[in-house]
Amino acid sequence: MTVINQPADRYPYVARRIRPLLEAVYPENQIDNLLDRLYGLLEEHFAASLDENFQKWSEDNVLLITYGDSIYTPDEKPLATLKNILDGYLKSAVTGVHILPFCPYSSDDGFAVKDYLSVSPELGTWDDVRAIAQDYDLMVDLVLNHISSQSEWFQQFKAGQKPGCDYFIAVSPETDVSEVVRPRSSPLLVKIDTAKGEQYVWATFSDDQIDLNFENPEVLIEFIKIILFYVAVGAKYIRLDAVGFLWKRLGTPCIHLPETHAIIRLLREVLQMANPDVALITETNVPNRENLSYFGNRNEAHMIYNFSLPPLLLNALMQGRSDHLKTWMMSMPPAPIGCAYFNFTASHDGIGLRPAEGLLSDDEYQALLDTMQRFGGKISMRRHPDGSESPYEINISLFDAMKGTVKGQDRWQVQRFLCSQTIMLSLEGVPAFYIHSLLATTNDLDKMARTGHHRSINRHQWDYDQLVAALEDETSPQAVVLKELCRRIQIRRRQGAFHPNATQYTLHPMNKALFAFWRQSIIRDQSIFSIHNLSDRTQQLALSNLNLVITDPWCDLLSGQLIHNIYDKFVLKPYQSAWITNKFDPSDVREMQ
C-alpha cells in the first residue's frame, strides 16, 4: 500500500505524477510555480492511501440520472423531494444518483453555470446534497468547457478586470474557424461589448455558454479547487461535461486534442491523490472510436458513456433485428482494468446520432428518423464546417419511442420498453437509468412548446402527488414499469456474472430477431446467457446453441423457468428477455406452469 505520511515525501510524489502532464500543455517556465500551487491545494486533501482502488464498482451498482427538480411539490425544496422519492420508491433499485447540474444557472437547464460552488436556492442547499450523498453514491457535473455569460468571471471579462479578463478566448471575427467541429448550428463566435470595445468570444454551444480558456493555467487551478470541493461534499463520481471540446487550437477541429487528453489525465491524478474511491467519467457524444480514446492507456477516464448503445438499441427494436447491434458489440473491446463502461439508453439530452455514424445503412437511418417523428419526436441538427447541417440527435421520451416499430404503433409498448432496459442491465458496464425511463414518462409536448427547445420533450417535471397517485395505481404504465424494472434490477444486483468487468461474449443465433450474449463472472463460477427477442412475434432458440454444461442445473432468472433438458428449444414471447444461468438460489425462482 502506498502510504505517504510525511509532507517531505508527498512533494516528490506529486511532482513525479503531475509534472509530465503539466509539461504537455504549459510552457516550461510555468511548471515549477504550478507544481507548488497544486501541491498547496492538495496538501490538506491527501488520502491515507494513494493506491488505485480497483473495487470502485460491482454488480450491485445501479445509478439514477435526474434533474434536482424532476419531481416537485409546493411544500418543500425539490432536492428534499428527490430524497423522499429515492427512499420511498427507488432504494431497492439504485445505489447512486447523478444529479444533473444543481448550481445557479442562466440557460440550458443547468449547463450554463453561474457559480460552481453554490446550490441553486430554488433546488435546496448543500445540506440537501450531502443528505443524498450520505445514502447514495453521488455523481456531480463539472461543466468545465464553458460557463454562463452571467457568471462573475465573464462579467469581469467584459469589464477588463482580473481574474476573469484572462479566462476566455477572444479572436477576430475574420478568423478562419471552418475546421472547428460543431455540435450545434449556432454561430461559434459571439459578439460582446466590453470595456475594451467590441470583442468576439468562443462559444461552442450557445451565446450564453462561453468557452473557458484552459491555455491559461489559472483556469485549471480554479477547476481543481472546484473538484476538491465536490469530493469534500461527498461526490463519488465527477462527470466531465462536453470535455472533448476543452482545448482550442486554430487550424484544427478543436476536439479530442492531445492537450485535452493531458488535462483529463492530470485531473485523474488529482482525484487519485485526494480520494482513490472517486471515479472520473467523460461525456463525449461522438463516434465510437473517438469515444473509446478517453480511456487513454487506462490513465484517463475511469468510465466513459457508452454512447453507441442508445441509437443502435433503438434501431434494433424498431427493425426487429439484431445484426447492427451485434456487429457493434463484437467490435467493442473489454474496458481496461480499473475502467468501465457507463451504460444508458436515455438521458436528459436526446438520443445521439453521431455514435451511430457508419453503423446503419442510409435507408435504416432515415427509417429511424421518420419513425421517431411519427411517435412525436423531434430531430435536432448540427452544423458542418461547410455550413451544411445534419441530424445530431433524436429528442423523444424513450417510453414513447417504444410505441411501435417501423411498421407503426402496436400493443407491445411496455414489453418492448422493458426489453430495452433489460438489455442495458445485462451488458458489460455500470447501468444507469434516466428517471423518466424508470417512471415510463411520455413526451412533454407542452413543455417543449413553452421553452421552444426540442430537449424539453424529455425533461418533464412530475407533480409529486400526481406521480405518487400513478405509482399507487397498479394498472398505470408508471406502476407496471417501475415494479418490473425494480424486480429485474434486484435480480441483477445479486449476479456475479453481471459485474461491470465480467467477461462478455457475443453469441450468433441464426435468427436475427434474437440478440444474445454470454456473461461469465470474474471468478468463473457463474455463467449467464442473456437472450432477448427483439421482435413482435414468438421466437424459439435451440438451447444446444448455448453450450449449456450438462452437469449444471440451469434456470431463467427472469421467468423462474427451470431447464430440464439442455437440448430443448427455449420459447421467447414478443420482446421477452431471459437470463439463463447455472448459479441461482432456488428460493428466488419458480418453475413455470
Nearest to 206 by CA among 224, 229, 222, 190: 190
Q: Are strands 63-66 and 430-434 parallel, antiparallel or unpaired?
A: parallel
CB 26 within 8 A of CB 35: no
* Cα pseudo-dihedral 203, 208, 214, 218, rounded to 10: 150
Strand pairing partners for 540? Answer: 571
* Cα pseudo-dihedral 355, 360, 362, 366, rounded to 10: -70
Question: Which run of H or of E encompasses 253?
Answer: none
Overall residue count recorded for the chain in this entry = 593
CB count in 10 Å sphere of residue 251? 10
Catalytic residue among 137, 208, 211, 241: 241
CB 63 within 8 A of CB 98: yes
How many Å apart are CA 481 and CA 491, to the nearest integer?
A: 15
Q: Is 241 marked active-site? A: yes
Three cell numbers, residue 36: 507548488
Q: What is the widest separation between alpha-carbon atoms in the chain?
A: 81
How many Å apart are CA 45 and CA 225, to the nearest integer?
A: 11
Nearest to 226 by CA among 129, 143, 146: 143
Would you give the DSSP letter of residue 482? H
**Angle 209-212-218 (CA atoms, 0-180°, nearest 5)?**
150
CB 212 within 8 A of CB 139: no
How many Å apart are CA 98 and CA 235, to the nearest integer?
A: 10
Measure Cα distances from 85 to 66, 92, 123, 134 in Å: 12, 12, 15, 15
CB 444 within 8 A of CB 460: yes
Catalytic positions, written as ranges: 241
